[in-house]
Amino acid sequence: MSNDLFVWLEQFQGQVLPSSWEALGAARILADAMGGSVVACLFGQGVEGLAQEAIQHGADRVFLADDGTLADFRVEPYAALLAQLSHQHDPAVLLMAATNRGRELAPAVAVDLETGAIADVTALEVQDGVVVATRPIYAGKLLSRCRIPERRPQIITTRPRAFPRPEPDAGRSGEVVAVEPVLAEDEILNKVTGFTTAEGEVNLTDASIIVSGGRGVGGPEGFQVIRELAEVLGGAVGASRAAVDAGWIPYAHQVGQTGKTVSPDLYIACGISGAIQHQAGMRTSKVIVAINKDPDAPIFKLAHYGIVGDLFQVVPALTKAFKERLG
């Protein structure tokens, strides 16, 4: 067994996702404790240019597979290739971001290698040469420390925005190794036939600022003031389950136990009472602001700053105040 750490870098349309750089940064820190090299695994079509970026972000070596069968992410060819590379090089750890793709890829590779996968971790340390991973369970009401004591690699997915994003260093050097896919197209069951991005659908997971609306928004048109504040801050629009279930905004915006788990630098909850199921999705946000008419709303127990008042007055006033300050 080597001490090397593999990191699968998720790219979409030729861009490595920020959460993958975070996973690479986490691997770099573990490598300093465990003594191995950081090896980035980069698959896609026309992605050669990303290999140097991976080195600048902390990889010592890059396994680059550039092939038409890998153009769209699919579990089967990606898992087969990661499993083969792991067989050949015997890494101690395989890390990836806990995005939807990462969370379906990790357990598939784990089955191939008869090893474990620890999902959605928020902290990592090394004890006696074994990685100890902390992850939220029961919607973050409890935390669990997990480890894979014997089997290798230790497969771990890291929660987006839980680990710092490494600064690229143009002076770093590393090796790029071209590798071939394992599966031919006719051996792959899943065929991707389309991809659509609906207007206004945002990637909440990577957002550093989220402005969310809840029941207090009162209807679909009420989200206009939420959108205006999000826009001036360069943030994304979130929503509580109440607003989504009422049909005011699509499910893709839902934050909470049955929606997305987010961890932005700033979370502004407008007209959201803060049910425990909503808190589950946003409690790890760095700074939480609550704007609500009801001074007894549970959201104020979690928030760092609050304004008690009508969101239709407070939110536009806040938008105006930021416009003046941000120019």
Partner 1 sequence: MHIVVCTKQTPDSAATMSVDADGNVSWGDAPLVMNPWDEYAVEEALLLREKFGGKVTVIAMGPEEAREALKHAVAMGADEAIRLWDEGFEGSDSLATSYVLARAIEKLGDVDLVLTGRSTIDSQTGQVGPALARRLGWSPLTYVSKVVEIDPQGKRITVERLLEQGRQIVSAPLPAVVGTVKDINEPRYPSFIGIRKAAKKTYPVWTAEELGVEPGKVGRAGSAVEWPEIFAPPPREGECEIITADTVEEAAAILADKLLAEKVI
> CB of 66: closest distance to partner 1 in angstroms?
21
Q: Which stretch binds partner 1 (CB under 8 A): 1-9, 29-37, 63-71, 95-103?
A: 95-103
Residue whose pair of structure tokens reads 């801050």 in the numeric block = 233
Least distance (Å) from partner 1 to the CB of residue 266? 4
Q: Which of residues 206-235 bind partner 1 (CB under 8 A)?
A: 206, 208-209, 233
State the minimum distance, in angstroms, from the CB of residue 125 to partner 1.
12
Asked if 42 and 50 count as a contact pair (C-beta separation under 8 A), the reply is yes
Strand bridging mode 123-127 / 130-137: antiparallel
| Span 243-262, contacts to partner 1 by CB under 8 A | 250-252, 254, 257-259
CA-CA distance, 247 to 238, in Å (whole number)?
14
Q: Can residue 180 be called a binding residue for partner 1 (CB under 8 A)?
A: no
Q: Point out which span in 39-47, 49-57, 87-95, 302-310 binds partner 1 (CB under 8 A).
A: 302-310
Calculate the CA 61 to chain-centre distance. Answer: 23
Residue 236 lies near partner 1 (rule: CB under 8 A): no
Q: Which stretch binds partner 1 (CB under 8 A): 24-32, 39-47, 48-56, 74-82?
A: 74-82
Respond yes or no on whether the N-terminal peptide bond of residue 91 is cis (omega within 30° of 0). Answer: no
Residue list 268-297, contact with partner 1 (CB under 8 A): 276-277, 283, 286-287, 289-290, 295
**Encoded tokens for 233:** 């801050």
- Asked if 146 touches partner 1 (CB under 8 A), the answer is yes
Buried b (16+ CB within 10 A) or exposed e, 97-120: bbbebbeebbbbbbeebebbbbbb
